[in-house]
Amino acid sequence: MKNAGLSLVKIGGSLQFVPSTINSLRYLKKIDPALWAATSVPVDAVNTDAAFLNFMHPEDETAIRADMVIEAVEFLLDTCSASRLPENAIDLTLLNRNSENASRLIEFIRGFFSDELQDDKLVFLDQIREKITQLTSGPLNGEGIIIPAAVDDTAKEYLEDVTNITGGTKTKAGVTGITEEQLDKFIADAKVFLQWHKSATPPSLGTLNDPAAYKSYTALKNKLNEYFDFCEMLCIDQANLARFSINPEKIPELDIKDPQKVADYLASSPLAKPDDSMQLNMLERVNPVYKAQAKVFAELFEATTLTAAKWEEIKKLMVDYDDYLAKSQSGQVGSLGQEKLEDYISGPALDRLLEAFVMDKKLGENLKMLKAAEKTILFHKYLPEFVNNFVNFKELYTPGKISMIQAGSLIMGGRHFNLNVKIKNVADHKKLAAAANLCMLYLDLKRDQEPPMKVAAAVTSGRANELYAGKPGIFIDYNGKYWNAKVVEIIKGPVSFGQSFMLPFRKIGDSISQKFQKLSEFNNLGKNLDKTIKAADATKSKSALNAGSVMMLCGTVGIAALGSGAAYVIKTLQNVSWTRISAVCAGIIILILAPAVISALMKLNRRNLSLFLEAAGWAVNKKMKVRGKVSKIFTFVPIYRNKE
């Protein structure tokens, strides 16, 4: 069945949309994502070109969603006018000239690669990546952030001062620099400060016109405000006094052996115990941490006993000076001084910084176009394959192929296990995947000079009897690298019809075997007891012999009775046709085997690969059954081939 260029194909037991050409991808946005095979996949679950994956999702996302796939398709079809491009290259004649983005890309490539185009139309992926490497190897990064290494000594101090004042901005590599917006704000603040500084004069503090007075004031300002606020609480209600006393039974924990914690506790405590008289003796009952500062304050402000009214007078006196200092700092810009700021807003250092921003902007534009060219090649090469692992699972169900959503192939016990997914935590995956009704292996993978990996493998055919925790094997990842593999845990589940069918009989056999084992142990015990009765009394031996004779007589009679019964049964069966006997026997066998057959089929039918993938972070729409030949796609014994 075909729908707008998409074929509707039954894959893994469900109907899925499969695009036949690159141009048919344009119809995907008309298909409700609920009809897609999947709607989200973790980025680290996809094995393909790293740059392709980076283009598929924003930096702050860890999964690729359906909307991102549609955006990628729209970009590719907007750029390319042909369904086929050369391998790992862009043919300028095949780009969509009706597209504004494609037209800009053509113009850029013709200018940037003017001497390197093959046949005046081809530029290759290797050339593009080489240029990207060259452009990003220097101190400029095209991100709009200038770092100290990108400027000479003339502008380095300027850049560092702007960084300290504005806080700077980190590059993707983690190096701190400044943006043009931060430089503009710095210059604007500097101009405001210089303009104010020309006409501003510091207010007089009268007899207190001493830097030490203001320093003492600022040191105790917050603590004095807090103290008089607490005093006002007592004036309102004396019951508030209890708020400043700690119940010994509820005293907060404090490590008194830690000097820093003790110091922090004292510093956070009130300046003094509140008093409803609204005054404070600055020399007597002050917190020891602030006692020296309080003494200086009392001397400078002639206030041994500081009242609330006196404190308000001091604050009013300092208001203008506070305002003057706030403006003089002008967002800390003023701390650099008038002379340096005048040089910064018109000197050569500013010119160097502005030149660096111009160069970085040009570099950023070139990198953006080079990335667009790289993106076009990679989307053309990998996007159709990705769609066949996301919108549908065609690639996953292709025999003999490891798709980009499979971690690789596990070789163990003479078999290939190809349905493997990367996981971060065994317990988390097992919690969800247990409902998949699959036999699963959890493996640790190790390889020299590589970070270890964890993988979950589904066992879909053959036998699982020889699989156990600790079993070693090898793992070949998507890129062909070999890893040492070891099973760390196995989750039992149905694997094949034969194993599921024989399971109840195997349990019965194991039970009978255990019974015989117990009888054997009992027989050995009897032999040991025989050795102790050889010294028995002669009379008792005689009695035992007589009893044995009686038992032999009874046994003879019993055997005769059984013989007569058997003869009767044989005589009766001679009058019954063999057809009827066969039918009865067949019926008995069917009655015995039918439940086992039904149980085996039901167990196999409940296997669900969707849950296996969802436990690894996927969002899967289709219920992926494991039936018939499908089971041998993922777990199989390789065929012997005679190569001559």
CB burial readout 522-539, b (16+ within 10 A) else e: eeeeeeeeeeeeeeeeee
Q: How confident is the model at residue 346 (pLDDT cuts 50, 70, 90)?
A: confident
- In degrees rounded to 5, what are phi and psi of residue 282? -75, -10
| 452: pLDDT strictly greater than 70 | yes
d(CA 455, CA 429): 10
For residues 270-278, average pLDDT: 88
How far is it, in rounded angstroms, from Cα 284 to Cα 288?
10
More confident residue, 511 or 217: 217
Per residue in 384-429, pLDDT tens? Answer: 999 999 999 999 999 989 999 999 999 999 999 999 999 999 999 9
* DSSP codes of every residue in 44-88: GG--S-HHHHHHHS-TT-SEEEHHHHHHHHHHHHHHBSSS---TT
Highest-confidence segment of 301-310, 409-418, 464-473: 409-418
Report pLDDT for 49: 95
Supply the pLDDT for residue 538: 47
Q: Is the pLDDT of residue 184 over 80?
A: yes
On the question of pLDDT at 335 being above 60, the answer is yes
What pLDDT was estimated at residue 543?
47
Could you tell me the pLDDT band of residue 163, with boundaries at 50, 70 and 90? very high
Mean pLDDT of 356-375: 97
Picking from 226, 400, 224, the residue whose alpha carbon sits closest to that of residue 311 is 224
Residues of the chain above pLDDT 70, percent? 77
pTM of the model: 0.69
> In the prediction, which pLDDT does 351 show?
94
Query: What's the average model confidence in pLDDT over 535-547?
Result: 48
- Residue 421 per-residue DSSP state: E
How far apart (Å, rounded) are the C-alpha atoms in residues 601 and 594?
A: 11
Give the pLDDT confidence of 150-160 residue by residue, as tens digits. 999 989 999 99
Amino acid at 27: Y
Among 190, 148, 479, smallest CA distance to 342 is for 190
Cα 357 from chain centroid (whole Å): 36
Torsion of CA 94, 96, 100, 102, to 10 degrees: -30
Residue type (1 letter), 85 = L
- DSSP code string of 335-349: GG-HHHHHHHHHSHH
How far apart, in Å, are the Cα atoms of 631 and each of 12, 338, 438, 461, 495?
A: 10, 80, 11, 6, 9
Most confident of 152-161, 258-267, 517-526, 575-584: 152-161
pLDDT at 214: 77
Q: 4-18, 437-451, 511-525: which has the highest mean pLDDT?
A: 437-451
Bigger pLDDT: 544 or 521?
Answer: 521
Q: Tell me: the pLDDT tens digits for 68-81?
A: 999 999 999 999 87
Res 603 pLDDT > 60: no
Contacts of 177 by beta carbon, 8 Å cutoff, 6+ apart: 145, 146, 147, 148, 150, 159, 163, 168, 169, 170, 171
Which pLDDT value is given to residue 587?
66
pLDDT attached to residue 349: 93
Confidence tier at 329 by pLDDT (50, 70, 90): low
493 pLDDT exceeds 90? no
Q: Note the pLDDT of residue 526.
A: 54
* Interstrand relation of 420-423 and 176-179 (parallel, antiparallel or unpaired): unpaired
Count of CB atoms situated within 10 Å of the CB of 352: 19
Give the span between the Cα atoms of 173 and 137, in whole angstroms.
Answer: 12
Residue type, position 357, single letter = F
- pLDDT 10s digits, 24-49: 899 999 999 999 999 999 999 999 99
Choose between 83 and 631: higher pLDDT.
631
Q: Look at residues 36, 131, 74 and name the one whose alpha carbon lies nearest to residue 619.
A: 36
Q: What 3-state class would DSSP assign to 422? A: strand
Q: What percent of the chain has pLDDT over 90?
A: 48
